[in-house]
């Protein structure tokens, strides 16, 4: 119809609290050149959220997915996008662009007071070695906008 926008945006949908305890381990160890299971699982969670939302709104094609991921892991937006594209094959999200803002959550040592970037969800202080650290932000992921045809 003339005058109608080509795409529309669906309401935000949030899937918060993604932590490694909710990710199922792979059945077999991945080959060394493959993407880490954690990034693949995150991409799958984003896709599942988007597809559930798109069914609710009767959409035929998803064009863009926007959101954020806050984690203590070192994530790659390129690998997440690649995994999203792989999982999206044969779905209404095939060909959609995944635009996620990656936020690395820091930690503070309760023993020496230093702020540091934890590795692999471990809050061990690299300065004094204490395991008594606190995360300085909430981890999780959110899909904030979905653009569809």
Domains of the chain: 35-148 (3.30.2320.50)
pLDDT of residue 108 exceeding 80, the answer is yes
In the predicted model, what is the mean pLDDT of residues 11-15?
Answer: 42
Structure-block tokens of residue 12: 């935000």
Whole-number Å distance between alpha carbons of 36 and 100: 18
Residue 7: the pLDDT is: 41
Structure-block tokens of residue 94: 């095939």
Banded model confidence at residue 88, pLDDT cuts 50, 70, 90 = very high
pTM of the full predicted structure? 0.65
Residue 105: the pLDDT is: 87
In the predicted model, what is the mean pLDDT of residues 82-86?
Answer: 95
Higher pLDDT, 117 or 27: 117
Please give the mean pLDDT across all residues of the chain.
Answer: 77
3-class secondary-structure state, position 114: coil
Residue 15: the pLDDT is: 38
């Amino acid at each position: 119809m003339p005058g109608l926008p080509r795409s529309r945006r669906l309401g935000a949908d949030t899937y918060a609290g993604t932590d490694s305890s909710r990710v199922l381990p792979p059945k077999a160890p991945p080959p060394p050149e493959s993407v880490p299971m954690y990034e693949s699982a995150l991409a799958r969670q984003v896709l599942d959220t988007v597809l559930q939302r798109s069914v609710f709104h009767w959409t035929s094609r998803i064009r863009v997915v926007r959101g954020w991921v806050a984690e203590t892991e070192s994530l790659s937006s390129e690998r997440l996008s690649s995994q999203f594209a792989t999982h999206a094959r044969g779905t209404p999200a095939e060909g959609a662009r995944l635009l996620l803002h990656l936020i690395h959550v820091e930690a503070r040592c309760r023993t020496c007071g230093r702020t540091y970037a934890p590795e692999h969800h471990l809050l061990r202080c690299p300065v004094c070695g204490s395991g008594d650290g606190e995360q300085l932000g909430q981890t999780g992921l959110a899909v904030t906008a979905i653009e569809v045809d």
